[in-house]
Amino acid sequence: MTVRPIQSVLIANRGEIAVRILRTLRALGQRGVVVHHAIDANTPAVALADQAIEILGPTPVAAYLDGAQIIAAAKAAGADAVHPGYGFLSENADFARACGAAGLVFVGPRPETIDLMGDKVRARNFVAERGFPVAPSAIEDDDPASFADRARALGVPLLIKPSAGGGGKGMRIVRDITILDEELERGRNEGARYFGDGRLFVERYIEQPRHIEVQVLGDAYGDVVHLFERECSLQRRFQKVVEEAPSPTLSPHERARICAVAAGIAKAAGYLGAGTVEFIYGRDEFYFLEMNTRIQVEHPVTEEITGVDLIAEQLRVAAGEPLGYGQEAIVARGHAIEVRVYAEDAARDFAPTTGPLLVMRPPEGQGVRVDAGVAQGGAITAAFDPMIAKLIVHAETRAEALERADTALTDFIVLGCPTNIGYLRRLLRDPEVRAGAIHTGLIGAKPALAQEPPVADKTRLKLLAAAALSSRPVRDAAETAPAPHAAIGEWRN
Amino acid sequence: MRRIDSRINPRDPAYLANLEHNRRLADQLSERQRAARYDRPQRDLQRLERQGKLTPRARLEALLDPGTPFLELSTLAAGEAYDGAAPGAGQIVGIGVVSGHEVVIRADDSSVKGGAWYPLSVKKIVRALDIAIENRLPMVHMCDSAGGFLPLQSQFFADRYGAGRIFRNQSILSKMGVPQVSLVLGHCTAGGAYIPALSDYSVIVRGTGAIFLGGPPLVKAATGEEVTVDELGGCDMHTSVSGTADYPASSEMEGIAITREIVSQWRRPAKAKDDAIEPEPPAYDPAELYGILPADSRVQFDMREVIARLVDGSRFHEYQPAYGATLICGYARIWGQQVGILANNGVLFSDSALKGAHFVQLCDQNRTPLLFLQNITGFMVGREYERRGITKDGAKMIMAVAGASVPKITVNCGASYGAGTYGMNGRAFDPRFMFSWPRAQVGVMGAEQAADVLSDVKLRQLARDGRLPTDDEVAAIRDPVIAEYRRSSSAWHATSELWDDGVLDPLATRNALAIAISAALSAPIDPPNYGVFRM
Amino acid sequence: MRHAFILQDIEHLLWLSKRADGGFRLEAEGRSHDVALCPDGRLIVDGETTQIWIAASGDRIYAHVDGEAHELLYRDPISRFAQNRDGSTERLLRAPMPGAVVATPVAPGQTVVAGETLIVIESMKLETAIQSPRDGIVETVHLAVGQAFERDAPLITLAEA
């Protein structure tokens, strides 16, 4: 493989990740081109880009999934490479191939790697065959007739997953073996609906598991390093809410082992670029879960503790440059925490909210980083997921990082739609969260945290005063009272 | 402007005795008002609740802008009539602020005999409309009345100021361009039906509100037709079919909210005078009024002490301070609004009458509303005074008062007798507002004097029989006469008969006057123009 | 009639009046307070100053004070007291959150019973079945499967009872 310098990158994405990639491109002196649906015309990504090309689609999401249109845009803009970000086309092997066919560098792993890791069953077999730990499981494809019996033989609790799935969609936990058949049927229907593929597999479910993942980076020459782990156990319905690095639970020995396993898997797969090996961890055991062949939403916590710009490294290895350093060069320092600020109403079962961002004032300060794809004057719409920003804090210790996150959340001002900021503050103040005693079911087990506590009397008075003084009907009524009457005030004879 | 220099001594036994007496009177007033407003048979209140209706007082409070005053008028109307069967004459009337507009509010009190109209109810309604006409104040009617009280129909129907005057006044008010809204919260039957119909706007509550010339029983009797209240004159029929009412409301509170929004649409005419300044409380404690007003109504007091406790900063620009000393004249401000005050400090002589006539014309030229503080037993009598033209000079004062174009407001602070009542802008002289203090008396002459005149006839008869009556016999003849005269000249009786617009606690007077002045300035003021002064 | 604001699902009544000196007086929760809001975001309540961020969108007011953002909703007095005993607004079912339509199991003209699912929506991977508040007949299905909508969008109209 030869080095093929990249001068101009088309970003096949939107929102905060597009902005994040543009920042690195700017630092590297490379040209950044974004594609955007009309709905995103007034977003920071479009404003920051050297060039912005509008793409069309029956829905905004469809536009960002239209690989042919995006490749055409990249060619038109004279880009050398396409960075897919996360989501959309990032784990679409056909898109990666199409980029290559069009003479564009796809900033990500080789299409075969995407294919391998995209098929949960194949990926699992690949990992197991090479001696890495996987959870006991039953795969429907192995022998559909005996699937249910093999699943039953694993014993409860069980986790049903769609073979083609990801992101938690269609997953079901079975604790009562008698309802296994019904749950399999439901999982099959959901898989068919979400992924167009009803095939399932079942594995041993670990109660109160932790989600630990390891960031890896491989070059075109077979060298792989890991950038330590991230713990993402605070999840709601399989969606990560808080991510941190390092994990508060791993011993140095466990850390070394899990990171070595991750790097080993990546190396075995001939992994190129940035990737994440996800593990399920519980009772001092860990099993391979899946590998994500893209930059992750939560990559900033790794950047904060290692000082490595992962986007820059993605671009470098994609261009064919060797890593140029070994594992010993990667040193972790301090503790980083990321929280995802969403437009959602925690008290109403986290229903997404929409609205104009009338005021958006992200916090600033030492060890505080905000990756946002929207700005004041923009809007949160139902067209995409309702993420407003990622807040990342970095401090010497976990306790200090939690403290810093709390302060930063307090200073994070978003007005125009309800957000989960208050919820995130309550979550981070939870004693178990503070103690690091977290697991993927913790959020679900603490529904009370979702309820906004009644505002303090003094705060309520301030809110009412502010609302009164800034509401036209209230103010108009005050202004129109005849003079002597207003002066006399409420009085009866 | 100089402050009045108060000379009271709060440790004076007379002051303390007055204090106790007047506090008792004020308590009596507030107790009478409380009873007139709230004492109702339990079954009447239960009936309202059963019908899903708010009490008239709750409706009123919901209608008003919070944080603003409401000057209730004639609260004790009919208080001494009909054996107390119609407290407040079954009507709530007052001046308040609705959506930032000063309005006259008139509400049928459905907790009194189903809101039936007694003769004094009609008088109170007509007076409310007169206030609206004279001051060009918009009006809100809250209609919930069973109709005229038939047994007394001869006293309220046919005459010039009978019930028809209500509808005539409504029409005139509309013709003047002053808007009215009716909120129909109950039945409006027969004549009552015309109140919403003659209002520029009307809102009707579904289920409880109805408007018809004859209710279902009358229709059945007249034509045999059987019809429900809703079909005959309910909310939906009138707002979607007949057009008799404008806005349907699903509840009383929604109706009140709609009414408030209607009022908020009305234009806000400029005040006749717009030179109010920032108000200032009186420099002296108004509560001292209780110690100043003598317990014995025959004892004279200095009206300057009263003025000092009614006006801004107790500041008073006195006109002709050395002339005609029994009538105090001068300028002051009440809650920032300028007034010209005429206050009695004794019987009226020629010089005081001339001073008064002159000052009335000064205020008229200056477009300053007039405030009359009455404490007057009359004009001086006697040969010498007649020779000097006391009647002629009194006539000048009466001519000036009657002819003044600026608004006039009167408070009876103690006594209002005979021609003094005329010269001091009594009820007959169309004060925009007329109030009495609880201690006030009004009549052709004072009680003692009247008793002498009345008992004199009997005593002379005894004398003709050659008998010299004993003191006891004299008392037996005089005392009942005095008692009856006192009753019929008392503030309670006057207000019951609507000779005034209400009895005021002296301490409530400053606020009441401010609201009254502001209301009065809502109407334009004609240029000064007088009749012939007898020179 | 006082102004009403909803804060945390609770209705709060208040009144604002202008004092003779031009300042504002707030009557709320049985007390009177001197209040002022400066253009730079300083809120002064009874002499105590707090920094506040505030923004309004329609009848919704968003305010960030004491470290947290809250939403207040101004209730227009007429809508607040409209009882709709004829059921006129109850006829229209609106979206409780933004999302997309997953299923429309009923058709116009169809008779439905209280509790019957009228439309299934999906929002953030969460399915919600919108059920009929009463027995009735479907008049309009406002959206088709796959269509996206914002909060408060009309979903189903029931015929008049």
Nearest CB partner across the interface for A463, out of C17, C63, C67: C63
- Pairing assessment for the beta strands C92-94 and C154-158 based on DSSP bridges: antiparallel
Instruction: Label residues A157-193 b or e (16+ Cβ within 10 Å = b).
Output: ebbbbbbbbbeebbbbebeeeeebeebbeebbebbee
Q: Looking at the predicted structure, is the pLDDT value of residue B381 above 60?
A: yes
CB contact under 8 A, B67 and A493: no
Secondary structure of residue A43 in the 3-state scheme: coil
Nearest CB partner across the interface for C78, out of B63, B66, B257: B257
Q: Which residue in A472, A474, A488, A490 has the most chain B C-beta atoms within 10 A of its own C-beta, making it the best mutation to test that interface? A: A488
Q: Provide the pLDDT for residue A274.
A: 97
A291 DSSP 8-state letter? E
Report the half-sphere exposure of A329 (CA within 13 A, side-chain side). Answer: 9
Q: What is the pLDDT of chain B when averaged over all its residues?
A: 94
Interface membership of C63 toward A (CB under 8 Å) = yes
CB contact under 8 A, B68 and A481: yes
Contact A315, A377 (CB under 8 A): no
Cα separation, A104 vs A164, in Å, equals 27
Nearest CB partner across the interface for A477, out of B100, B337, B515: B100
**B96 closest CA partner among B133, B75, B68:** B68
Q: Which residue in B61, B64, B68, B507 has the most chain A C-beta atoms within 10 A of its own C-beta, making it the best mutation to test that interface? A: B68
Contact A40, A24 (CB under 8 A): no
**B36 closest CA partner among B99, B86, B108, B1:** B86
* Residue C144, min C-alpha distance to chain B (Å): 34
Q: Provide the pLDDT for residue B469.
A: 79
B439: its two tokens: 């201690």
Cα separation, C44 vs C57, in Å, equals 23
Q: Which residue in C2, C17, C127, C150 has the most chain A C-beta atoms within 10 A of its own C-beta, making it the best mutation to test that interface? A: C17
* Residue B68, min C-alpha distance to chain A (Å): 4
DSSP string, B100-167: TEEEEEEEE-TTTGGGPBPHHHHHHHHHHHHHHHHHT--EEEEEEE--B-GGGGGGTSSSTTSTHHHH
Q: Which residue in C125, C127, C149 has the most chain A C-beta atoms within 10 A of its own C-beta, making it the best mutation to test that interface? A: C125
Secondary structure of residue B34 in the 3-state scheme: helix
* Residue B242, min C-alpha distance to chain C (Å): 20
Contact A398, A436 (CB under 8 A): yes
CB contact under 8 A, A482 and B511: no
Cα distances from C75 to residues A356, A362, B64, B287, in angstroms, run: 20, 31, 18, 42
Instruction: Label residues A115-130 b or e (16+ Cβ within 10 Å = b).
Output: bbbbbbbebbbbbeee
Average confidence (pLDDT) over B385-397: 94
Cα distances from A31 to residues A55, A83, A213, A454, B311, in angstroms, run: 19, 12, 32, 50, 79
Q: Provide the pLDDT for residue A463.
A: 96
Beta-carbon contacts of A492 under 8 Å, excluding residues fewer than 6 positions away, are: B69, B70, B72
Element (H, E) at B352: helix B350-366
CB contact under 8 A, B250 and C81: yes
Average confidence (pLDDT) over B361-386: 95
DSSP string, C126-142: EEEEEE-SSSEEEEEE-
CB contact under 8 A, C81 and B206: no
Interface membership of B514 toward C (CB under 8 Å) = no
Q: Provide the pLDDT for residue B459.
A: 79
Write out pLDDT tens, residues C19-77. 878 889 999 988 999 999 999 999 999 999 999 999 998 899 999 999 999 999 999 99
Cα separation, B120 vs A406, in Å, equals 71
Please list every residue in chain A whose beta carbon sits closer than 8 Å to the beta carbon of residue B514: 484, 488
Nearest CB partner across the interface for B257, out of C16, C17, C81: C81
Q: Provide the pLDDT for residue B527.
A: 97
Q: Provide the pLDDT for residue C90.
A: 62
CB contact under 8 A, C83 and B254: yes
Q: What is the largest CA-CA distance in chain A?
A: 96
pLDDT band for C89, please (50, 70, 90 cuts).
Answer: very low
Contact B374, B410 (CB under 8 A): yes
Q: Provide the pLDDT for residue C93.
A: 85
Residue bearing the bigger pLDDT, B433 or B460: B433
Cα separation, C77 vs B256, in Å, equals 9
Nearest CB partner across the interface for A484, out of B75, B336, B508: B336
Contact A359, C57 (CB under 8 A): no
Gyration radius of chain C's alpha carbons: 21
* C81: nearest CA partner in chain B: B254
pLDDT band for C85, please (50, 70, 90 cuts).
Answer: very low
**CA torsion, ordered A243, A244, A245, A251, to nearest 10 deg:** -110
Average confidence (pLDDT) over B233-248: 92
Q: What is the largest CA-CA distance in chain B?
A: 83
* CB atoms inside a 10 Å sphere around CB B274: 9
Rounded to two decimals, the ipTM of the complex is: 0.93
Cα separation, A209 vs B424, in Å, equals 94
Interface membership of C64 toward A (CB under 8 Å) = yes
Contact B131, B103 (CB under 8 A): no
* Residue A163, min C-alpha distance to chain C (Å): 18
Ranking A91-95, B52-56, B341-345, B452-456 by mean pLDDT, the lowest is B452-456
Interface membership of C47 toward A (CB under 8 Å) = no
Contact A249, A210 (CB under 8 A): yes
Please list every residue in chain A whose beta carbon sits closer than 8 Å to the beta carbon of residue B57: none
CB contact under 8 A, C82 and B254: yes
Q: Provide the pLDDT for residue C88.
A: 41
Interface membership of C103 toward A (CB under 8 Å) = no
Identify the top-confidence range among A357-366, B45-54, B109-118. Answer: A357-366
pLDDT values of chain A reduced to their tens digit, one per residue, 493 residues: 578 889 999 999 999 999 999 999 999 999 999 999 999 999 999 999 999 999 999 889 999 999 999 999 999 999 999 999 999 999 999 999 999 999 999 999 999 999 999 988 899 899 999 999 998 888 888 888 888 889 888 888 898 988 776 666 778 889 988 888 888 888 888 878 777 788 888 988 888 899 999 999 999 999 999 999 999 999 998 889 999 999 999 999 999 999 999 999 999 999 999 999 999 998 778 999 999 999 999 999 999 999 999 999 999 999 999 999 999 999 999 999 999 999 999 988 898 888 899 999 999 999 999 999 999 999 998 888 889 999 999 999 999 999 999 999 999 999 998 999 999 999 999 999 999 999 999 999 999 999 999 999 999 999 999 999 999 999 999 988 888 999 999 999 9
Please list every residue in chain A whose beta carbon sits closer than 8 Å to the beta carbon of residue B336: 483-484, 487
CB contact under 8 A, A492 and B337: no
CB contact under 8 A, A487 and B279: yes
Chains with 3+ CB–CB pairs under 8 A to B are: A, C
Ranking B111-125, B408-422, B472-486 by mean pLDDT, the lowest is B472-486
- Residue A215 bridge partners (DSSP): A276
Average confidence (pLDDT) over B423-442: 96
Cα separation, A158 vs A178, in Å, equals 12
Please list every residue in chain B whose beta carbon sits closer than 8 Å to the beta carbon of residue A493: 70-72, 75, 502, 504-505, 508, 511-512
3 state SS for A221-244: CCCEEEEEEEEEEEEECCEEEEEE
Matching residue, tokens 């169809």? C110
Gyration radius of chain B's alpha carbons: 25
Cα distances from B192 to residues A27, B207, B262, C55, in angstroms, run: 83, 18, 22, 49
**C12 closest CA partner among C65, C67, C80, C64:** C80
Q: Looking at the predicted structure, is the pLDDT value of residue C125 above 70?
A: no
A404: its two tokens: 């810093």
Q: Looking at the predicted structure, is the pLDDT value of residue C84 above 80?
A: no
B177: its two tokens: 């361009």
**CA torsion, ordered B393, B395, B396, B399, to nearest 10 deg:** 170
Gyration radius of chain A's alpha carbons: 25
C156: its two tokens: 């189903």
Q: Looking at the predicted structure, is the pLDDT value of residue C83 above 80?
A: no
Secondary structure of residue C93 in the 3-state scheme: strand
Interface membership of C8 toward A (CB under 8 Å) = yes
CB contact under 8 A, A468 and C3: yes
Chains with 3+ CB–CB pairs under 8 A to A are: B, C
Nearest CB partner across the interface for A481, out of B71, B100, B515: B100
Q: Which of residues 274-313 of B touch C (CB under 8 A)?
A: 278-279
CB contact under 8 A, A415 and C64: yes
B189: its two tokens: 């039957």
Q: Which of residues 270-309 of A touch B (CB under 8 A)?
A: none
CB contact under 8 A, C77 and B257: yes
Please list every residue in chain A whose beta carbon sits closer than 8 Å to the beta carbon of residue C63: 415, 463, 466-467
Nearest CB partner across the interface for A481, out of B65, B72, B335: B65
Q: What is the largest CA-CA distance in chain C?
A: 63
Q: Which of residues 25-44 of C touch A (CB under 8 A)?
A: 25-29, 33, 35-37, 43
Nearest CB partner across the interface for B514, out of A480, A484, A492: A484
Please list every residue in chain B whose beta carbon sits closer than 8 Å to the beta carbon of residue A481: 65, 67-68, 97, 100
- Cα B191 to chain centroid, rounded: 25
- Residue A16 bridge partners (DSSP): none
Beta-carbon contacts of A490 under 8 Å, excluding residues fewer than 6 positions away, are: B66, B67, B68, B69, C27
**B327 closest CA partner among B307, B349, B308:** B349
* Residue A456, min C-alpha distance to chain B (Å): 26
Q: Provide the pLDDT for residue A73.
A: 97
Identify the top-confidence range among A121-125, A401-405, B266-270, B374-378. Answer: A401-405
A177 DSSP 8-state letter? G
Q: Which of residues 469-488 of A touch B (CB under 8 A)?
A: 476-477, 479-488
Interface membership of A331 toward B (CB under 8 Å) = no
Residue ranges with strand state E in A262-377 = 273-282, 285-292, 335-342, 344-345, 351-352, 355-356, 359-361, 368-372
**For chain B, what's the residue count?**
535
